[in-house]
């Protein structure tokens, strides 16, 4: 049994209202040249957020390991197993963050959603736009009834303490 309806078509290009021309689109291996410096340039903060739960991004993550992760994410998107959207800048020359839409690992939700921006966008207009937009986008364009917004509605620490799904 899949976590999404069989006829669900995931959004491909999504403008971020109030995001200065930024848009979301499914990530692929071709994004490694932009993703790797974005991740590693914000690695310490990203590790403080995602490290305890996901073990990502490690201090020694190589470009090749990042590429393999992106190719795995692209395959998961194609199979509708999970979704990783890149946050692209207006001229499509920089990755400014990511949005993850995953099947639940913990009880009490039908999807687990999280997102991040690079360090120089933290607290700025793009992050604020994503904080408003992502929950509305999920409610309007995705078939979830009980999405959980990790790092927003619930802290990562609280999430790790929730009971796992059987």
DSSP 59-104: TT--HHHHHHHHHHHHHHHHTTS-EEEEEE-TTSS-EEEEEEEE--
User: What mean pLDDT comes out for the span 2-16?
Assistant: 93
User: Which residue's structure tokens are 């078939």?
Assistant: 143
Nearest-angstrom CA–CA distance, 102 and 109: 11
**For residue 19, is pLDDT > 90?**
no
pLDDT digits (tens, 9 = 90+) for 50-97: 999 999 999 999 999 999 999 999 999 999 999 999 999 999 999 999
**Which three-class secondary structure state does DSSP give residue 125?**
helix
pLDDT digits (tens, 9 = 90+) for 142-153: 999 999 999 999
User: What mean pLDDT comes out for the span 16-35?
Assistant: 96
Q: Does domain 14-161 have CATH number 3.40.630.30?
A: yes
Whether the Cβ atoms of residue 103 and residue 124 lie closer than 8 Å to each other:
no
* Residue % of the chain over a pLDDT of 90: 96
- pLDDT band for position 106 (50/70/90)? very high
**For residue 1, is pLDDT > 50?**
no
Q: What is the average pLDDT score of the chain?
A: 95
């Amino acid at each position: 049994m899949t976590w999404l309806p069989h006829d669900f078509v995931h959004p491909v290009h999504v403008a971020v209202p109030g995001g200065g021309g930024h848009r979301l689109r499914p990530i692929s291996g071709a994004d490694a040249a932009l993703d790797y410096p974005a991740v590693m340039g914000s690695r310490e903060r990203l590790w403080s957020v995602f490290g305890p739960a996901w073990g990502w991004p490690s201090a020694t993550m190589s470009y090749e390991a990042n590429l393999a992760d992106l190719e795995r994410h692209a395959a998961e998107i194609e199979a509708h197993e999970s979704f990783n959207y890149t946050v692209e800048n207006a001229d499509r020359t920089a990755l400014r963050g990511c949005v993850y839409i995953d099947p639940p690992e913990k009880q009490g939700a039908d999807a687990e959603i999280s997102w991040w921006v690079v360090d120089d966008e933290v607290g700025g207009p793009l992050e604020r736009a994503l904080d408003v937009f992502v929950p509305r986008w999920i409610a309007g364009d995705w078939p979830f009834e009980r999405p959980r917004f990790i790092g927003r509605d619930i802290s990562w620490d609280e999430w790790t303490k929730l009971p796992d799904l059987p």
